[in-house]
Structure 1
Amino acid sequence: MKPLRQNPLWTVILFFVLGATLYWSFIASDRFVSRANVVLLSAQISKPDVGLSAILRGMSNNDLLILRDFMRSTDMLARLQTELDLRAHYSNSDIDWFSRLSAPDVPTETFHRYVLKRLSIEFDEYAQVLRISAQAYDPGMAQRIVALLLEAGEEHMNVMGHRLAEEQVHFIEKQVEVLHQRMLEDSERMLSYQNEHGLVSPTETVGSLSGVIAKLEGELAGLQARKAALSVSQSERAPEMMKLDSEIKGMREQIATERARLARASGDALNRLAAEYELLRLQYEFSNELYSSAVTALENTRVEAARALKQVSVLQTPTLPEYSTQPRRLYNITVFAILAALTGIILQLLLAIIRDHKD
């Protein structure tokens, strides 16, 4: 005892070590730890191979980090409090004074800091796994905390994924309706034009007339060649020459009539009808292609919306602890004793230096 009296510093340190030993050996309340390991998976649904670029982002490892941050948030804390009443559990008077929550009605910030000390939610980058553990003063409560973390986390991730998916689907559905109505209007306009002019396809009619004119011009060229050949041996007043002149004249009149029918200047000219009809047809085909692309995009977006659903795949279900693993009594006592001894040595050296300077 005499050496201790001569070294009051070590007396104080020994007193603290004995106090810590007594606390962690007999007073500190047992804490039970429930653990779970999870990954996030999305539905593996094949999507159509179309030219539409991906509307929704695919999953990434950041999803697990987002899930971790949500589990550590005050929103998650509020749900834990609502369903499990953690304030009452952690402030129970049966828990030792140093370990328990000071009061059930502490501010949210204080309560949040306390709960975070009882939760461990870490992302294993190598295994791409989220490792979750919760400490409570009852085995069942520890397991329920982890189970609720998993349930609420999965709901939160699905809400996030659905929000963007629903907005995209809603937008494309509106576009599909607009394009469908536009296609119907263009189709009705084209049919009305056909009925008004009594032509199924003015373009084909123009092609047919052009063929007739080409045939007539070929026949006219043949007649002119015969006339040129006969003019060598016969006069212009010869009966056969006069007959050829009459046929050539009639052929030219027929060609002029067909050409006038094809391209006369009035509003009912077939070339104008064909041009107007072709414009209506192209407009209808364009509207139809836009509508088809929009329908394909809608189906693709719905598939992506299903892929956006995330499921918390549990690699290890929340365990029900059979014995307490916290606090680590022997470890805490050993570490405290070592730190106390180091502190005593440092303080003793400082005191020795001070005494040397005084001397």
Structure 2
Amino acid sequence: MSEPTTLFSGPAAPRPPAMTRLFGDRPVPWSLLLVVALPTLLAAVYFLLIASPRYVSEARFIVRAAAQPQPSSVGVALQGVGLSPVQTDAFAVHDWMRSRDAVTELAARANLEAVLGAPGADPFSRWPRLGEGRTTEGLHRAFRRFVTVGYDSTTGISVLRVEAYDPEDSRRLAEALLQGGERLVNRLNERAAADAVAEGARAVDEAEARLAAVQGRLTAFRNRERFIDPQGAAEAGTQLITALSTQLATLRADRAQLAAEAPQSPQLPSLDGRIAALSRQIAAERAKIAGEADSLAPRVSAYEDLVLERQFADRQLAEATTALVEARQEARRQALYLERVVGPGLPDEATRPRRWRAVLIVFVGALMIWAIGRLLVAGLREHRQAA
């Protein structure tokens, strides 16, 4: 019986250096330990042993106008598909609550630096954390880690959450932010009201100035001409002329009748004198009203122009005043209000960080990265073997 032929002789092939053995003979890649196990272990050490507990104070508020219109059925349908109008007023408050202006105000009112840099807090979350300087920019970045503001487009309610290492500090910061938001809304109202009524107030001032100027010219005219009402004087003169003309017509009728009945009557010269006197008086009164340089006609014309201008100025002032009142009422209707739905409460339990959840997120994320890397490496190897 022949001996079996040895096809290959030599030392046994070594195992890949990237593998180790764990749980018996099952190999575990070193990449799994470095990419998944080590970050998960570090996250567990930090979140379970080092991370300081943080207390969350939550508040809910709405920003609305006094006369906010109700949405139509089409608007409600559009809101359902995510096409609701942008709530710029609420978002303006949100942006302020996370702005540098809010940091400056809280630093002066609520001692923000001491709250975010509480003694005993872990060096990875407090301010200034490792690698972060004591600057205003660093304080603002840290502030944005501790404050979040959300908006529910369905209900229109904004949610403010403030984290701190002490429950009273979190409640105090949330209260200060709400008060700052109310002051911002008040400033917006004042600016909007000022812009709305500025034009109306300017129109009222111009109308008052014009009316005062016309009234001054009218008073100067009366003092100069020594007439309170030239038009009334002309009307009185006209009435006098009418009465004199009536008497003159009566005398002329009487004289004609007397001359027809008694041509030699001694009363005829007396009637002729009276008729002549009335005729001269009528002519004089007519000259006072019109026809002479110092008659009432040009004075009445100038007076009527001034009266007409004053009436126009009165009407303009009334219209400007009405417009100003309407502008103020519209500004009140459009005024914004920050109303608290839920005030900032005092937390009695630390809810941040979510320790096990954070560890699980690190583990799942690292595992996905490792799996994707393994797939890429395997694809590259197959590509090289095929080439």
Q: With structure 2 as the length reference, what TM-score do the two structures score?
A: 0.70
Does 2:125 align with 1:99?
A: yes
Q: Please give the alpha-carbon distance, in whole angstroms, between the structure 2 residues aligned to 1:16 and 1:185.
A: 85
CA contact (8 A) 1:158 1:308 kept: no
Given candidates 106, 109, 128, the residue that maps to 2:156 is: 128
Q: Is the 8 A contact 2:39 2:362 kept in 1?
A: no
Cα displacement (A) at 1:76: 0.8
Matched with 2:29 is: 7
Partner of 1:82: 108
* Candidates 154, 164, 168, aligned match of 1:140: 168
1:118 aligns with 2:146: yes
| SS across alignment from 2:148 | strand
Q: Partners in 2 of 1:61 and 1:209 — Cα distance?
A: 72
Cα shift readout 1:231-274 (whole Å, capped 9, x = no counterpart): xx99x9999999999988777655543332211231x2111111
User: Paired residue for 1:26, among 42, 49, 57?
Assistant: 49
Matched letter for residue 147 of structure 1: E
The code of the aligned residue for 1:127 comes to T
Q: Work out whether 1:65 is the aligned partner of 2:124.
A: no
Per-residue CA deviations over 1:194-226 (Å, capped at 9, x if unaligned) read 354443321122233334545666788899999
2:360 is aligned with 1:334: yes
Structure 2 residue 175 is matched with structure 1 residue 151: no
Unaligned runs of at least 5 residues, structure 2: 1-22, 68-85
Q: Determine helix, strand or coil for the equivalent of 1:22.
A: helix
CA distance in 2, matches of 1:168, 1:358: 74
* Uncovered stretches (5+) of structure 1, i.e. residues with no partner: 45-59
Deviation at 1:278, TM superposition (A): 1.5
**8 Å Cα contact 2:185/2:338 also seen in 1:** no
2: CA distance, partners of 1:37 / 1:139: 18
Q: 1:292 to 1:216 in 2, by over 3 A?
A: same
Q: How many residues align?
A: 341
Q: Percent identity?
A: 28
- 1:51 aligns to what? none
Native 8 Å contact 1:263 1:269 kept in 2: yes
Change (3 A) 1:265 1:30: same
CA contact (8 A) 2:116 2:142 kept: no
Deviates more, 1:349-358 or 1:297-306: 297-306
Of structures 1 and 2, the larger Rg is shown by: 2
> Does 1:265 find its partner at 2:292?
yes
Q: For residues 152-175 of structure 1, what are the alpha-carbon distances to aligned partners after superposition, in whole Å with 9 as ceiling and x for unaligned?
A: 222233234334645777887787
Any residues of structure 2 matched to 1:157-236 within 5 Å, and which?
A: 157-163=185-191, 165=193, 180=208, 183-184=211-212, 186-213=214-241
Listed one character per residue, the Cα deviations across residues 314-340 of structure 1 (whole Å, up to 9, x for unaligned) are 111111111111112232222222222
Q: Are 1:262 and 1:270, in contact at CA under 8 Å, matched by a contact in 2?
A: yes
Secondary structure of residue in 2 paired with 1:141: helix
- Read off the aligned partner of 2:104 and give its amino acid letter: A
Q: 1 CA distance for matches of 2:93 and 2:202?
A: 33
RMSD: 4.2
Counterpart check, 1:282 vs 2:308: yes
Shift of 1:306: 6.6
Return closer, same or farther for 1:34/1:257 CA change in 2, 3 Å cut-off.
same
* CA distance in structure 1 between the partners assigned to 2:323 and 2:131 by the alignment: 56
Label 1:18 to 1:61 Cα distance change in 2 as closer, same or farther (>3 A).
closer
